[in-house]
Amino acid sequence: MTDHRTDTVSSDSAAMAPLPIRAADIQMAQARISTVIAPTPLQYCPRLSEESGADVYLKREDLQDVRSYKIRGAYNNVAQLSPEQRAAGIVAASAGNHAQGVAYVCRTLGIDGRIFVPDQTPKQKLDRIRVHGGDRIEVVVTGRNFDEASAAARAAAAESGATLVEPFDARNTIIGQGTVAAEILAQLTSLGKTADTIFIPVGGGGLIAGVTSYLADMAPRTAVVGVEPAGASSMQAALAADGPVALETIDPFVDGAAVKRVGDLNYRVIDRNRSRVHMMSVSEGAVCTEMLGLYQNEGIVAEPAGALSVAGLKEFRSRSGDVVVCIISGGNNDVLRYNEIVERSLVHRGLKHYFLVDFPQEPGQLRMFLEEILGPDDDITLFEYLKRNNRETGTALVGLQLGAATDLDPLLERMAQSRIGCRQLQPGTPEYHFLT
């Protein structure tokens, strides 16, 4: 049996590289990218500090030119290609942010590229890819998810002879992402502080692998918390199986982290650092709640993956006075998604519920529902009534927003005591999924 902790990767030529990645590698990358990529701010967050009891800082990778940390790995990777490789062009696959980084690099370095993105990529990200790449790039929309788009990119690279620029499972990409950690430690040092815990969004594993590699050498006492969306917890699946495995299904909502299978090299880095890394999952609804919180309180437009770290902080018990950093990994969020974001947040907070209500087809039944069943702070947000002839009842689909989550049990009690039949639709059921 092959030892999964060996120091080489053989499953894919793009991932074949010696381990471990050292801080010196990342420091060299930092010097390499510094002529193009400026450091992002590390901002103290009074609200999250008060709520958690820790001193919370936000690493604002959403303020990159491409609104994501992905430009670091993309530039570090492409900048080291030979003249012959550059002339042959590059190919990349991405859920959106890596694509923008690659597009930016293609235009900056004068290299032609083809970028493959999955069907569910938000229009905002597609538009930004084209803006950053200009006439240097071709965008190909294909596949239901990142993994299918990645397969198409690999086939195109093999056919054309172009270089495949991996979004996470490549040594130079990981090293580039690790420059985030180098900046964080330097910025904290200038404040006379050291990091106790760093919360990191996790999709394919490039960012957490790079940050963890740097901390292992430069800040070995700093804990790493990797935060995955509950609908795509591929790193936790890999750690449980002692190797990367493909999830059968994923929820694509947190599009920047919706990856079925983590990279081989990324997994190996985390596997070697199990003692310093804690992995956790947060629900998509919790992510939406923190996206809204960041926007309403700090004025930060975070994409779903960008808010993963803060959602993880909210569900993690930090020690009072600890210095905690949450990496806001990206800010490429389509404003057209905010209705869904608000809806998911309300459901997560226990404020939004749906019911099928059978009204007796008699005068005054709606008034009875309003007066005897609804509470003073309950609001009807959806009402669709289907009246059928020759039936004693007519069914309505009713959406209710409560004043507080604790109002649900009294509401259900009033429904149970009423002659009006009410059935709550439960999240996770086919009818609820159809509704939302």
Phi then psi for residue 66, to 5 deg, are -100, 10
Task: Look at residue 6 and tell me if it is in a domain.
Answer: no
Which of 127, 150, 172 is the endpoint of a domain?
172
Task: Answer whether residue 191 is part of any domain.
Answer: yes
Q: Which domain holds residue 46?
A: 13-69+174-343
Based on the fold, state whether residues 181 and 323 are members of the same structural domain: yes
Is residue 252 one of the residues assigned to a domain?
Answer: yes
Residue 337 lies in a domain: yes
Query: In this structure, are 308 and 383 located in the same domain?
Result: no
DSSP lists the bridge partners of residue 117 as 141
Both 225 and 324 in one domain: the answer is yes
Let me know whether 355 and 415 are in one domain: yes
Active-site annotation holds for 329: yes
Query: Is residue 264 situated within a structural domain?
Result: yes
| Burial group, residue 397, by CB count within 10 angstroms (0-12, 13-18, 19+) | middle
- Domain check: are 269 and 213 in the same one? yes
Q: For residue 406, tell me if it sits in a domain.
A: yes
- Structural contact between residues 293 and 309, judged by C-beta atoms closer than 8 angstroms: no
Same domain, 269 and 122: no
How do the pLDDT tens digits run along the chain, 436 residues long?
A: 333 333 333 334 344 445 689 999 999 999 999 999 999 999 999 999 999 999 999 999 999 999 999 999 999 999 999 999 999 999 999 878 899 999 999 999 999 999 999 888 878 888 899 999 999 999 999 998 888 999 999 999 999 999 999 999 999 999 999 999 999 999 999 999 999 999 999 999 999 999 999 999 999 999 999 999 999 999 999 999 999 999 999 998 998 899 999 999 999 999 999 999 999 999 999 999 999 999 999 999 999 999 999 999 999 999 999 999 999 999 998 888 899 999 999 999 999 999 999 988 888 888 999 999 999 999 999 999 876 655 677 889 999 999 999 999 999 999 999 989 999 998 878 777 776 6
Number of domains in the chain: 3
Which residue in the list 52, 233, 234, 329 is annotated as catalytic?
329
The residue from 316, 343, 370 where one domain ends is 343
| CATH number of the domain that residue 306 is part of | 3.40.50.1100
Residues 247 and 156 in one domain: no
290, 358: one domain: no
| Residues 64 and 185 both lie in one domain | yes
- Using N-to-C axis directions, what is the helix angle for 70-78 and 179-190, rounded to 10°? 120
What's 377's domain CATH number? Answer: 3.30.70.260
Round to whole Å and give the CA distance between 249 and 237. 12
Verify that 190 and 338 share a domain, yes or no.
yes
For residue 85, is it within any domain?
A: yes
Check if the beta carbon of residue 58 is closer than 8 Å to that of residue 42. Answer: yes
35 and 85: one domain?
no
Q: Residue 25 carries which side chain, given as an amino acid letter? A: D
What does the alpha-carbon distance between residue 138 and residue 152 come to, in Å, rounded to a whole number? 14
The answer for 299, left when phi > 0, alpha when psi is -120 to 50, beta otherwise, is left
- Which of these is catalytic: 59, 70, 260, 352? 70
Are residue 103 and residue 33 in the same domain, yes or no? Answer: no
* Cα–Cα distance measured from residue 436 to residue 417, given in angstroms and rounded to the nearest whole number: 28
- Residue 358, domain member (yes or no): yes
Q: 70: closest CA among 203, 173, 215? A: 173
Q: For residue 432, what are its two tokens?
A: 């609820």
Q: How many CB atoms lie within 10 A of CB 402?
A: 21
Query: What is the DSSP secondary-structure string of 376-423?
Result: TT-EEEEEEEE--TT-SEEEEEEEEE-SSGGGHHHHHHHHHHSSSEEE
Q: From the CB of residue 378, how many other CB atoms can be counted at a distance below 10 Å?
A: 18
- Among residues 325, 343, 361, the one where a domain terminates is 343
